Amino acid sequence: MRICVLSDVHSNLPALEAILAAMAPYDALWHLGDIVGYGPQPNEVVARLAAEGALGVRGNHDAAAIGQLPTDAFNDEARAAVEWTADQLSDISRAWLTDLPERREIADFTLVHGSPRDPTWEYVFTGRTARGSMAQVTSTHCLVGHTHVPMAYLIEDSTVEAHSPDGAALELAARRALLNPGSVGQPRDGDKRASGMVIDTDNHTVEWRRAEYDIGNVQELMREAGLPRRLVQRLELGL
């Protein structure tokens, strides 16, 4: 089975379309939250993922946009985008986001947005945090987003091996792993292309993919919506 795993789409429909095309064919689509926030097309992105039958979890931006997390924990630009998003959401989109759990177990995978310890806010940026996170789950693998940086942490006994995607498929073999697909709609690893990951459960491998999309088009929609200028600019930097 080939599972397409996406995170942090952030209301960026052209990036979502591009990465889905780059990942096809796949048998299942999973997401790790932050479907909305920052970008200009929240309802379109929710509709696209709903049509795909995507299974996933809620991120901090999703929770704030549906009024289940106070916006004062966000920086000024993120908060402005969350408030704009809350105004835009249709009843259908809001209901879809409201139905997302904080944590989901599917087969031998645990899905969360931030970390199993704190699905809403904790960032897994170090091997130490990755190991602490894996101590909180019984599944072999844990899938996280939130950092917007594609990454793998392979855990064996007391050692943690950090692995940045290099274009080749990574052999998981029997190792436990914490995997991050990177961000579809606002990558922050210096590569502005949409990021995603495919897990092959027959071969026990994981592969990251990048896809170019029309960033200028998204920036135009963001300007028309009056979204903060720094959020518009960062898309072309991948930061």
Question: Residues 34, 62, 122, 189: which binds Zn ion (CB under 5 A)?
Answer: 34
For residue 65, the surrounding DSSP H or E stretch is helix 60-65
CB 19 within 8 A of CB 184: yes
**CB-nearer residue toward Zn ion: 63 or 215:** 63
**CB-nearer residue toward Zn ion: 122 or 172:** 122
**CB-nearer residue toward Zn ion: 191 or 200:** 191
E strands, the chain, in order: 2-6, 28-31, 55-56, 103-106, 109-112, 141-143, 151-156, 159-163, 170-171, 176-180, 194-200, 205-211
- What part of residues 133-152 is at the interface with Zn ion (CB under 5 A)? none
Does 189 participate in binding Zn ion (rule CB under 5 A)? Answer: no
**CB-nearer residue toward Zn ion: 7 or 93:** 7
CA separation for the pair 6, 16 (Å, rounded): 9
> To the nearest whole angstrom, how small is the minimum distance from the Cβ of residue 34 to Zn ion?
4
> To the nearest whole angstrom, how small is the minimum distance from the Cβ of residue 8 to Zn ion?
4
Give me the residue whose beta carbon is nearest to Zn ion.
34
Best CA proximity match to 127, nearest among 147, 154, 149: 154
Q: Collect all residues with Cβ–Cβ distance below 8 Å to 166 and sequence separation of at least 6.
A: none
CA separation for the pair 38, 155 (Å, rounded): 33
Does 8 participate in binding Zn ion (rule CB under 5 A)? Answer: yes
**CB-nearer residue toward Zn ion: 8 or 17:** 8
Q: Which stretch binds Zn ion (CB under 5 A): 7-15, 44-52, 95-103, 195-203?
A: 7-15
Contact residues toward Zn ion (CB under 5 A) are 8, 34
